[in-house]
Structure 1
Amino acid sequence: MPIMIIISKRLAVLLVLLSIALSASAQERNAVVLISVDGFKPDYFERTDTPHFDRLIQEGVLADYLIPVFPTLTFTNHYSIVTGLYPENHGILSNTMYDPEWEVTFSLGNREELVKGRWYEGEPLWVTAENQGVRTASMFWVGSEAEISGVRPTRWNDYDSRLPHEQRIDSVITWLSLEDETRPDFITLYFSRIDSEGHRHGPDSEEVTRAIADMDADFGYFISELERTGLWDSTNLIIVSDHGMAAPSEEKVIFLDEIIDLDDVRVVGWGPVSMIRPAEGKRETVYHLLKEAEDNYRVYYREELPEAYRIGNHRRTPEIIMVADLPWSITSRSFFERRGVLAGNHGWDHREPEMRTIFLARGPDFHEGKRVGPFELVHIYEMICYLLDLEPAPNDGSLREVHHLIRE
């Protein structure tokens, strides 16, 4: 038999064996569904009857609380969760920010910019996974609508806040039920109602209590569907949130236009945090006026920011930052007259107890009935990479901080 034919046959056998090995590896890998319940505080588990959350807690791992990054805002924290990076290293410093190099503003209302991958630095989990041959899907997450480093999730959706929770869950069940070659092993899922009710009515409102009960029912539906389809024992659920919620007061307001001339600055964001770009030649004047009036807030030059904030080393960080003491808010007279203050808000210092958030995980790769101490949410990226047998991209997290949550 010619040598080339022998080599070709051996190569074919090796390729078949490799294919079988990869297929077996995919079958052995348990899926990970990362679920965010926006604005969910640790004490919400005790606010009302939540039998399905209770079951997940009994069968899984619950942290005392999860420590968010600063500022305690939706986009900043969601992107830190999936990259394992602090804001200064991933570039999403706030829900609203200005890039001086591009002279463009990023905001929740500017979808044209929101979906551009150039804003999102670092490597989110779906990019890490897709680059290593693991399929992913997203039923909403910050950054999932953008092409980042030339990569998107295999399946993704344009964000639609009106899409019923049950339909979101049904999509996830459909994806998990696909054949091994096409099934995503990492999926994100996002719910915003509790955050929305907290903003409208305040964290201690009956509306939030009802939203918690409804969210528990949604998880009950999700659990029943996982059990019905035989996926319950091969799916890891990781439930997190991005920040807590506090009740500001209309009597505790800092009017910026009573301290400085707003014509001398560009203000990006009202509320617990204001990012201020002084006009040319006005930096010292603006800072000293704010410093002299400093009461119920803290003002910093960019280079003086507390190290714990981890936002100072990025070009999108403005020269001056104001951080209100909780529950104070920063605004202007005209903005206040038009909008007042929200009944509930977030964004304050990430070390404030009311800004704490949640971590709850249940599945074949997690311990059962275990309570653990608090940890920073930047460690979740490394944890999920470990569960999916992925080589993590450079990040600020550490598997050592969360390895004790995982079964061996």
Structure 2
Amino acid sequence: MLWLLAHDQYPLLGRGGVAREVWALYFHWYGVLSHGSFPSGDHLWQYPPGAGAVLLSPALLPGLTYFQAFVTLTLFTDAVITLVLARAGTRPGRSLRGAALWTAGLPLLLHVPLARYDVQVTAFAVISLLTVSRRPRVGGAFAALGALVKVWPALALLGTPRGRGTREAWTAAVVTAVTLLALLVALFRNPLDFLRQQGGRGVQIESLGGTALMLARRAGWPGHTRYQYGAVEFVGPHVHAVADCSLGLTVVAFALLLLWRLRARRWTPATPYDAALAAVLLFTVTSRVISPQYMVWLIGLTAVCMTSRHTTQRWVAPLVLAASAVSTVEYPALYGDVINCTWLGCVLMVVRNGLLASAAVVSFVLLWRSGRPAPERPESDASPRNPDRIPAVFHTGG
């Protein structure tokens, strides 16, 4: 991955576009943040204020350039995730498959993970999930830290079983978020300007709605693509309707997850992991934007699921890995075909987004089924002579 990043001027590696995100855009924001202000009026700045801390972190390594320091810290974070997954996999009832999946799965995205800060965001979610059952307050705090950087890690707390532990986790998350947000408001100017820029996002060409518009363009739709809000988006008739449809599907996804939470009566040690993966998959496929680096989140959450022998998400893992591999072909290798909506670009996006949509559906269905009460078993099946027949789950009331 480092070699690819050092040679990203090659056409199939993006002609320098992948690394440019760090040494040009991130470094520009670093300069603004260093003067005590979040980017104001910058339509490319669409991130919660916690992202500012991540972009300022290369200052911790003053002997390196900004680009070198950023990549070094990203590699260090990658190592931390691997260590946490490996340590979790050595506990009773756990598996090292999670650490193996992360180690083998991340390079499927080539050098993109090293030139984005999504590895850092994923670290917060991974640590939160792997600690919340034993130390709810710590897990809640890490979920809040991640949410302040890129919102979605808050979903790590979705599947915690009802009871004192969940209350402690959510209380710690709220306290941590409010405290740090107040600190950022006190130290920096314009910390909430990102909300105005986020609302202007359209339909990115790599999203599910973008795939529909790509096919429509091949059929004669008069729209075209344009670089805006930090991504290549569609412009033309009915684009707003497609964006509204994506938002509607996101609301439906949220409603389904809430319904699962209310109706679930059966939890296993892996339920918090499975719920987080299902939730992020649903929100990803219904989003107006599906950038290639989003796959880092899904690989990380899938790896967490695979650390538990009780996970229901084994069939989801190959779908996520396949989607990651196709994402690499789509970006950076053949991004020009996607932008120009060639037939090759259309096929790539149909396959990648089809895999993601399939993963989301399979993941949620498996999560839903796992929440049903276990069927009654004959008393003899749960006798000391058959200890392996006792399910490793616990039930909760209404």
TM-score scaled by structure 2? 0.26
Higher RCO structure, 1 or 2 (CA under 8 Å, sep 6+) = 1
Q: Which has the larger radius of gyration?
A: 1
Higher fraction of strand: 1
TM-score scaled by structure 1? 0.25
Higher fraction of helix: 2
